[in-house]
Amino acid sequence: MKVKTQSKKVNKAWLNDHVRDTYVKLAQKEGYRARAAYKLKEIDEQMGLIRPGQTVVDLGSTPGAWSQYVRRRLAEGGSAGALSGRIIALDILPMVPVEGVLFLQGDFREPEMLERLEQALEGQLADVVVSDMAPNLSGIADTDAARIAHLVELAVDFARHHMKPEGALVVKLFDGGAHAPILQLFKQTFTLVKQIKPKASRDKSSEVFLVGRGLKPAAVTG
């Protein structure tokens, strides 16, 4: 395989690791679009977040692996069963449709997009909000930390306004400058806060996931 890039050795090494990756093979076998499905699966299995009958919002959904996982979890009588609940997914990039999932394409940072998401909820509150959103990283630590923090803050604010008091929020975060203030924000907002590094996250990745469960009374604004 020829890789026409400026860093052929690096890209070849990444491709070789990717092809041999246990979770990549498992995703292909089980019909998931990306190995990321197993990150949410592990978080869900630890925390017991997603159940049939719920309304789930998936932020940063493309390519759709998390929406696929949620769809299977909301199925009655097993992963192939009829959908019991609602799934609303959003991403700035297009997403190939997932059966039973309402997809909205747009930028979550824009007020117009938030309004569309609110309209899609039709006055209902979400049981679970999951966010795999991540900004384009510049390599400048302070700038990237600010971008990451902004996305997480938006997700927290959305949960405060549009999630049930007993609901749960899952966000992706990276170790670095934004970590401490975001952790503090979660502790101020939720009654239970847990940090999880799923086994499906690559060893070299600095990503971690924060789970906030149960909005504190002072945080509820919906």
The order of strands in the sheet holding 101-105 is 101-105, 86-91, 55-59, 126-131, 163-174, 207-215, 190-196
Instruction: Quote the crossing angle between the two packed helices 22-30 and 37-47, to the nearest 10°.
Output: 90
> Cα separation of 170 and 221, whole Å?
19
> Cα separation of 24 and 123, whole Å?
38
Active site residue 172: yes
Catalytic residue chosen out of the listed positions 39, 41, 164, 172: 172
Tokens representing residue 3 in the block: 């890789």
| Amino acid (1-letter code) at residue 158 | F
If one counts every other C-beta atom within 10 angstroms of the C-beta of residue 84, the result is 15
Active site residues per annotation:
172
